[in-house]
Amino acid sequence: MNDELIPRRPFERVSNQSFSNIIMASTTPFPIDNLPYGVISTVSDPTPRCATALENDAIDLSALERDGFFCSVPGFEDAVFSQPTLNAFAALPKSTRAQVRDLLTKHLADLDTRKKYAVPLSTVENHFPMETKNFSDFYCSLEHTQNCTEISNRAIPENWFYVPSVYNGRTSSLRVSGTPVRRPWGVFRESPSSQPIFSPTRRFDFELEMGVFLSKPLPPGEILDIQNASEYIFGLVILNDWSARDIQMFEMPPLGPFHGKGSGTTISPWIVTLEALSGSLCASTKVQDPAPLHHLTWKGAIDEATFDIELEAKLLRNGKAYVITETNLNELYWTPYQQLAHLTSAGEGLSVGDIFGTGTITSAVCVF
């Protein structure tokens, strides 16, 4: 699966990169209006450090930091970009991060400055961008849920329409795009009448999702007001929840998935910030019936309830790419803001670097 997403023409899709929702006369997924954040290393300097992506280059933010580019930003802390993860930067006040972004936009518009700090993307190694303590994955696409329940000859549970369905995943499964994913072993039946066997999965599948990285802690016992959800979000990535369907089907009752979902969860290496996605805010395409409970009720502007981000998955076979699904983040029944509010509604708390998957984002033409 191509883990890179660039909704809206005139962008081209380039594997193992990220996405932007900004319209520009450019063929790169990383115009100066995007500036996503990631962690890189190079052959000449194998130390992981923070970077941003611009056109076909990675811009070494630790080098910019050493040269004093961010000294004028109130609240900016020393050596934030020299860290092996983005946690320290993400934890800065949102206003501070916004000023850093403004400075980058200003300085990197100068080609000489850009050239001084640029490293070709083709030469860098990407690292998992954040230190993550908690990973949860949702199940919030109505079409996906309808298709799955039809396959299993079951009705959609009543509670699905009252709360975003979610399970706690394993942070040990998280990896950045380009990291090999091993076909998992597990217990399953080859046919409904056969005895269970322990064997490599025969039905290894993908799930096209978005991942949401968090930038602000929430102490245990506190509950997040959905109207403040955006204050806790650092940015979005593409997420592929690798799924062993035969193992998953066998182990589901009574407690839900485990090994069927634990072999690998891949994310794109560049985190696209909410500032870069501000132009993609939109209304949800779904009518929620029954009406959401009060802690899940969005009271903000209707056209800022979710994001218009087009998604596409391709299968590459014998050098040829086949589009196998097209969908949009705004087609989820439960929005990312509602998902985040639900994550905290029992007082579990949040940590900087936590990530949650939106769940498979599908349309009526895609089963899984």
241 is in an annotated binding site: yes
Q: Is 316 helix (H, G, I), strand (E, B) or coil?
A: strand
248 is in an annotated binding site: yes
Q: Give whole-number Cα distances, 211 to 84, 103, 350, in Å.
A: 20, 27, 15
Instruction: Say which residues have a Cβ less than 8 Å from residue 216's Cβ, sequence separation at least 6.
Output: 91, 231, 232, 350, 352
207 is in an annotated binding site: yes
- Transcribe 152-203 into DSSP letters: TT-PPPGGGGTS-EEEE--GGGEEETTS--PPPEEEE-SSTTSPPEEEE-S-
Report whether 329 contacts 15 (CB < 8 A). Answer: no
209 is in an annotated binding site: yes
Can you say how many angstroms the Cα of residue 108 is from the centroid of all Cα atoms in its chain? 26
Q: How many other CB atoms are found less than 10 A from the CB of residue 285?
A: 13
261 is in an annotated binding site: yes
In terms of Cβ atoms closer than 10 Å to its own Cβ (0-12, 13-18, 19+), residue 323 is exposed
Instruction: Kindly state the DSSP code that residue 123 receives in the 8-state scheme.
Output: G
179 is in an annotated binding site: no
360 is in an annotated binding site: yes
Catalytic residue, from 107, 127, 144, 259: name it: 144
137 is in an annotated binding site: yes
| Amino acid making up residue 35 | L
Q: Give CA–CA dist 24/9, Å, rounded.
A: 8
Report whether 325 contacts 365 (CB < 8 A). Answer: yes
Instruction: Say which residues have a Cβ less than 8 Å from residue 112's Cβ, sequence separation at least 6.
Output: none
144 tagged catalytic: yes
Q: From the annotation, which residues make up the binding site for Mg(2+)?
A: 241, 261, 265
Active site residues: 144
Q: From the annotation, which residues make up the binding site for Ca(2+)?
A: 137, 207, 209, 241
